[in-house]
Homo-oligomer: A and B are copies of this chain.
């Protein structure tokens, strides 16, 4: 009993450090983790630059192994310290954590799998999780809400853009020949989207007068069309704002929440004085 308790205490300690950011240790862990993620991404970048890789290959390789071992320990610690490990393992972050740790190991078995290390870039998304630390969170969630609210409209819009692109792309394929680069309908559709979005690489460009006329129409359509997502998001932002000020006018319905995460179900946003998880009811480790 005594032992189990101390075992639990040890697990709680690790959970607090890895999953939360209330204690000095937890904050330090998060900061070190972010730095290591950034360093690991930069190492992968540098390895892909031939001239740098030729000179510093050994250094980069060693650093990568050190970081991979740290990530391995972190991954194991995350599984051990949580009460429902499977929930973490099959969550988005759990899968990304695994996929960004494993490639270096299996690169000894399957040649070329090291390229999977690029998945590590996804770990950068964890930064947003850790951003709980800073006050930017409110801004980020406002952005997220505005985008979420305009999701349906933007889906309809993107679908309409795609259909227009298919029609105009097919038209350009018929008008322009192979010389101008319109070698197939998919390529023509690619060109249409490049033009509609005003990116305009210039790798494919119409050369016949008729093709240039249609291109002009595509551009002017794109010009009008670019206004649509902007209009949607702007109006949504406007509502967001006034919505917020309205809410803040309501009486005392806000309490301060901290960065504690439930060791059982990982839900977040607990009150400072909470002793039980609001979601699953299990006991939180307050100290």
Contacts and interface: CB of A to CB of B under 8 A. Distances in A.
Given A231-B233, A233-B230, A136 B118 contact: no
Given A158-B224, A201-B202, A193 B173 contact: no
Contacts of A44: 170, 185
Contacts of A127: 159, 163
A219 interface: yes
A278 interface: no
Q: Main SS of the interface on chain A?
A: helix
A143 interface: yes
A139 B160 CA distance: 12
Contact of A156 (B48, B139, B193, B226): B139
Interface stretch (A26-34, A67-75, A84-92, A237-245): A237-245
Interface in A209-237: 209, 212, 215-216, 219-220, 222-224, 226-237
| Number of chain copies forming the complex | 4
A223 B236 CA distance: 17
Interface string A170-212: 1101100000000111110110011101111111010001001
Interface of A: 41, 44-45, 48-50, 115, 118, 121-122, 124-125, 127-128, 135-136, 139-140, 142-143, 146-147, 152-161, 163, 166-167, 170-171, 173-174, 183-187, 189-190, 193-195, 197-203, 205, 209, 212, 215-216, 219-220, 222-224, 226-239, 241
9 contacts: A45-B189, A48-B184, A118-B170, A140-B156, A142-B153, A143-B157, A146-B231, A195-B199, A202-B202
